[in-house]
Structure 1
Amino acid sequence: MSVALGCIADDFTGATDLAGMLVRAGLRTVQLIGVPDRDLPAEVDAVVIALKSRTSPVAEAVRDSLDALAWLRQAGARQIYFKYCSTFDSTPAGNIGPVADALLDALGSDFTVVCPAFPANARTIYKGYLFVGEVPLNESGMRDHPLTPMTDASLVRVMQAQTPRRVGLVPYEVVRRGPGAIRERFGRLRSEGVSYAVLDALDDADLLALGAACADLPLVTAGSGLALGLGPNVSGVAAGAAADALPATGGRRAVIAGSCSAATRRQVALMRERHPSFRIEAADLASGEDIPGRVLAWAAEQEGPILVYATADPEEVRAAQAAYGVSGAGEMIEAALARIAQGLVGNGFGQLIVAGGETSGAVVRALGVSGLQIGPEIDPGVPWTATLEGAGRRPLALALKSGNFGTDDFFLKAWERLG
């Protein structure tokens, strides 16, 4: 077995986002949950290993990422892709910088790129500043993120705070001149002792140029957008239309939302207007009441798609964190939603949408999912997937959505893409 592109993603929805972009670029792609202990199907161009390392302790994130790298190198991966969120979710302590440093060291390399741009989802970079729609990152909803509040839009400054290596910039006036000019700037930055080059990008044409310029780098670090530009570097891949075919799935439908992002709050509000919903609150969980049991009993009496959510406004999130601790409140909710997902699947639910990276990680682990086949895109960065199950087990359909992704009607329209 040999794969062209080996990818390490720092959370589960981010891994699915990247895998979907690779399929869109024409690569036959499999997503694996954690470092696998088995071989892959022969006809695979790209492998994405999904970790839960975005907010874990730095040493743990580095260890898990190096384990994933070792497996991918054994599988013959010719290039490594470290994937993080398009809003560069991290803190001054990490984890993006320390993981990237460790991967560079392990690969014996001294240079890579930093590019969370995803223009299709309104994430662009200009003069090294990350924009979300029309506003800088620090003026977007990410300033209120409960775990990784982003208070600076300068990727050069944010990355420099996380690494002892030098960070530089490839500005837009260079990017628009194409791959040759970009590679020339890479050479100049390397000669100046720069290890990380932040890349400006305003549209998909920029990503294609950047991808071509990055073809020979042992390591790239980016959001999922750059995958669109790396796809053409891989020869002999399947056509995109064939790459996103999924096996048939069935069963009842449910949305499980743990994200508190602005996008998910809007999606939850619209879903609640159309379908039965049940809200999970940290105070109820802390009281010791069997909330998952109540939810499962309620779900059995409903018809059509249902919504189970712990989504809350920033003020409510802060109040819960003050009462139960930042990690304590989140872990309580994740555990409850994971148990609910297990119960729903056991009761005949077979098509699930899960909103939020931490929630998706908890649900996927609780369900014992080892891998995912990537299917059709619902919205940019969010495809349907089917679990890679053993003989005799029917696959589940899963859509693992980053909290910030998707249109307001995402939960309502997603089912149509399953056919």
Structure 2
Amino acid sequence: MLLGCIGDDFTGSSDLGNTLTKAGMRVVQYVGVPGVPAAPDVEAGIVALKSRSIPVAEAVAQSLAALDWLRAQGCTQFLFKYCSTFDSTPEGNIGPVAEALADALNAQQVIVCPAFPATGRSIYQGHLFVGDRLLSESGMQHHPLTPMSDPDIRRWLAHQISGTVGHVPATAVLGGVESTRAALRRETAKGHRLIVADAITDADLVTLGHAAADHLLVTGGSGIAMGLPDNFRARGQLSETSGAWRAQVGPVVALSGSCSTATRAQVTMHAATHPSRELTADAVMSGEVNADTLATWAVGQPGVPLIYSSADPDSVAAAQAHYGASALAGAIETLFADLARALVAKGVTRLVSAGGETSGAVVSGLGLTQLEIGPEIDPGVPMIRADDGLVLALKSGNFGAADFFARAAAMMEGTP
């Protein structure tokens, strides 16, 4: 294994796997820290954790355990992958995990770049944009777990770490690899270890990846990985082979627990032409709904049935105030985990899941341990094979076109 990756959620990890697979690496995504060694032909291994919203100390401990396993597989470079909207609170978890990994590796120069231009995420002057809006005006300020109220990634990260934050401006990145490396050296000389790098286009991310060829640790969204495979290729370390993807037929169900603006629009569009069932906070918390009855309903429906809990920000806030944010989130995730098991037990072979927390619950509920990365559905969202009888699409809340649910289901069975 050459590149060892640690993802803070399951959808983001599959997004990263998609990027590396497209760039020519043989990639396997692991669910949690494996208990056995990796297969010898794996070039990039991704340990997918569910550590984005857990207590800081737990996130750090899980990430360091993942690092230990990846180091034992022989990796020479490591990547900490987090969301392209930098989902975190002023306490963490991105900063503390990045610092802990840097300490463990004795890495003195670490790029921080969540940009993903293909989905509208760019960084300019240290500020994160979603399309033409600052992050804090994009809808992410209403996120129920990690509300992003400040678009300045330098300032947000500084709240989370003990050190200071540097910055490589767009002018340096546009100047090419050597210009970028010189800017990184200047920031390191100032005593900054974590360095936010501007990136406006995919070409900027490739430049950053090439500039980080000798870095022990790189952090960012999946886009920061675009240029990394070239470094291994230049050393003659890639096999340049990949397995053929196989289509999967059979019953399909879509699940959504994301409350992002993008997912709510996808839910609205899909529900207009497909069977749908909304899970309200009251129904979940009262026990009015359960996994078995929902699964029975879903498998009896035509098309691509959708079961969703994707309310608007005001409704989410009211429900959190009434039931408690942690209790409500836990109950919804538990229901989705139970539902995923019930659906597969009833013969469902294709599952489409929207939302990082929801997808994490689905993967954990099914007890999956290793995932094969397949073709891309929409930017940042690949198909994933759990085994010969189950294929999934795990979508971050903010990703995907308006018709994502139907498109994913069609591509899984081999329909263009």
TM above 0.5, yes or no, is yes
Q: Name the aligned partner's letter for residue 269 of structure 2.
A: L
2:125 paired residue among 124, 127, 135: 127
Matches within 5 A, 1:331-342: 331-342=330-341
Query: Which residue number in structure 2 is paired with residue 267 of structure 1?
Result: 266
TM-score by length of 1: 0.96
Q: Name the aligned partner's letter for residue 129 of structure 1.
A: H
**1:378 and 2:377 aligned:** yes
Evaluate the alpha carbon distance shift between residue 262 and residue 290 of structure 1 in structure 2; reply closer, same or farther with a 3 A threshold: closer
Q: CA deviation at 1:369?
A: 0.5
**SS across alignment from 1:399:** strand
Q: Name the aligned partner's letter for residue 335 of structure 1.
A: T
**SS across alignment from 1:293:** helix
Matches within 5 A, 1:402-413: 402-413=396-407
Query: Which residue number in structure 2 is paired with residue 366 of structure 1?
Result: 365
Query: Which residue number in structure 2 is paired with residue 283 of structure 1?
Result: 282
CA contact (8 A) 1:246 1:385 kept: no
Evaluate the alpha carbon distance shift between residue 280 and residue 366 of structure 1 in structure 2; reply closer, same or farther with a 3 A threshold: same
1:282-319 per-residue CA deviation (whole Å, 9 max, x = no partner) reads 20122232432331231232122211111111111111
1:18 paired residue among 16, 19, 24: 16
1:157-186 per-residue CA deviation (whole Å, 9 max, x = no partner) reads 011111111101100111001010111111
Q: Distance in 2 between matches of 1:416 and 1:252?
A: 11
Query: Which residue number in structure 1 is paired with residue 390 of structure 2?
Result: 396
Moved more, 278-287 or 81-90: 278-287
Moved more, 53-62 or 408-417: 408-417
Q: Name the aligned partner's letter for residue 100 of structure 1.
A: A
1:37 paired residue among 25, 35, 38: 35
Q: Distance in 1 between matches of 2:198 and 2:309?
A: 36
Query: Which residue number in structure 2 is paired with residue 186 of structure 1?
Result: 184
CA contact (8 A) 2:376 2:383 kept: yes
Query: Which residue number in structure 2 is paired with residue 357 of structure 1?
Result: 356
Evaluate the alpha carbon distance shift between residue 169 and residue 244 of structure 1 in structure 2; reply closer, same or farther with a 3 A threshold: farther
Q: Distance in 2 between matches of 1:344 and 1:297?
A: 8
**1:237 and 2:231 aligned:** no
The number of residues matched between the two structures is 410
CA contact (8 A) 2:120 2:130 kept: yes
CA contact (8 A) 2:7 2:47 kept: yes
Q: Distance in 1 between matches of 2:105 and 2:16?
A: 22
Structure 2 gap segments, 5+ residues each: none
Evaluate the alpha carbon distance shift between residue 417 and residue 288 of structure 1 in structure 2; reply closer, same or farther with a 3 A threshold: closer
CA contact (8 A) 1:9 1:50 kept: yes
2:164 paired residue among 151, 161, 166: 166
CA contact (8 A) 2:31 2:47 kept: yes
**SS across alignment from 2:367:** coil
Q: Distance in 2 between matches of 1:282 and 1:126?
A: 39
Query: Which residue number in structure 2 is paired with residue 77 of structure 1?
Result: 75
Q: Distance in 2 between matches of 1:33 and 1:22?
A: 17
Matches within 5 A, 1:62-73: 62-73=60-71
Q: Distance in 2 between matches of 1:309 and 1:290?
A: 12
Q: Name the aligned partner's letter for residue 152 of structure 2.
A: S
1:198 paired residue among 196, 199, 210: 196
**1:61 and 2:76 aligned:** no
Q: Distance in 1 between matches of 2:156 and 2:296?
A: 47
Q: CA deviation at 1:43?
A: 1.6
TM-score by length of 2: 0.96
Q: Aligned-residue CA RMSD in angstroms?
A: 1.2
Moved more, 227-236 or 323-332: 227-236
Query: Which residue number in structure 2 is paired with residue 303 of structure 1?
Result: 302
Q: Name the aligned partner's letter for residue 237 of structure 1.
A: L
Moved more, 297-306 or 184-193: 297-306
Q: CA deviation at 1:415?
A: 2.7
Structure 1 gap segments, 5+ residues each: none
Q: Distance in 1 between matches of 2:167 and 2:361?
A: 36
1:243-296 per-residue CA deviation (whole Å, 9 max, x = no partner) reads 373344332011010101001001111110111111111201222324323312
**1:100 and 2:98 aligned:** yes
Q: CA deviation at 1:371?
A: 1.0
**SS across alignment from 2:84:** coil
The percentage of counterpart residues that share the same residue type is 50
Matches within 5 A, 1:103-118: 103-118=101-116
1:217-267 per-residue CA deviation (whole Å, 9 max, x = no partner) reads 10001110011111211224355xx63733443320110101010010011
Q: Distance in 1 between matches of 2:67 and 2:13?
A: 15
CA contact (8 A) 1:33 1:369 kept: yes
Query: Which residue number in structure 1 is paired with residue 410 of structure 2?
Result: 416
CA contact (8 A) 1:284 1:291 kept: no
Q: Name the aligned partner's letter for residue 274 of structure 1.
A: T
Q: Distance in 2 between matches of 1:266 and 1:411?
A: 11
